[in-house]
Amino acid sequence: MTMTDDAPITEDELAAIALAADSDPEIDAEAVPWNAAGAADGPLPAWYMPAPVTVARGWKVRAAAGLIILAFVVINAFGLCITYGHLVPA
């Protein structure tokens, strides 16, 4: 079946196409999955959740992140809470 126009397909047409489809198609023995080229080693395929990419950060970015983490630890050590942006006793 080929679509030659941009008319939307109705739900009834989709149901007719689904009912007319072969329920047990013959698959070529040498067929390759469409995502085999980008397959990742893991439980999820690469197209669903791509592998994380690491980016080298400079020492300034790491120092700023460490300073923020240290500030939260010190705030919590003094028994204060800054969860909602306001410094209040916990």
Choice between 39 and 83, residue whose per-residue pLDDT is larger: 83
Contacts of 72 (CB under 8 A, 6+ apart): 82
Domain that holds residue 88: 58-90
Total number of domains in the chain: 1
pLDDT at 45: 65
Is residue 23 a part of any domain in this protein? no
The model's pLDDT over 41-51, given as tens digits with 9 standing for 90+, comes to 666 666 677 66
The whole-angstrom separation of Cα 89 and Cα 75 is: 10
Is residue 63 a part of any domain in this protein? yes
Is residue 82 a part of any domain in this protein? yes
- The residue type found at 35 is N
The model's pLDDT over 24-74, given as tens digits with 9 standing for 90+, comes to 989 888 887 765 555 556 666 666 776 678 888 899 999 999 999 999 999
| Confidence category of residue 79, pLDDT binned at 50, 70, 90 | very high
Backbone φ/ψ region at 33: left (φ over 0), alpha (ψ -120 to 50), beta:
beta
CB neighbour class for 45 (10 Å; exposed up to 12, middle 13-18, buried from 19)? middle
